[in-house]
Amino acid sequence: MEEIGILALLEAKPGKGPDLHALLKSAREAAVAEQGTVNWFAFQISDTTYGIFDTFVDEDARIAHINGEIPKALAAHGDEILAKDPDINTVDIVAMK
């Protein structure tokens, strides 16, 4: 069972929700390529609020993800589409099905 993860909440600038949606959708390939990322979910809460939830095999995999392609893509486009810096939280998984 994966015991660690990341929960990131992202807020798009007004009118930039579709751009953030497309960026997250395209990020799936990078997540699939990460050996230590077990689960990766990108989700939409509202027109401007999105999130990412991932689980990892171990801390090294989580660190590799934090330093990987998805955060780099968000940083490269952040100024144009994000209203503020992402709210990124490392989490411990208590239970799962």
pLDDT tens-digit readout, 46-90? 999 999 999 999 999 999 999 999 999 999 999 999 999 999 999
Structural domain contains residue 75: yes
Handedness of CA 41, 3, 34, 97 (dihedral sign): negative
Distance CA 80, CA 73 (A): 12
Model's pTM, two decimal places? 0.93
Structural domain contains residue 97: no
Residue pLDDT, tens place only, 35-51 = 999 999 999 999 999 99
Residue 28 sits in which domain range? 4-92
Q: How many domains does the chain have?
A: 1
CATH number at residue 36: 3.30.70.100
Residue 75 to residues 1, 10, 13, 71, Cα–Cα distance (Å)? 31, 12, 15, 6
Structural domain contains residue 54: yes
Structural domain contains residue 15: yes
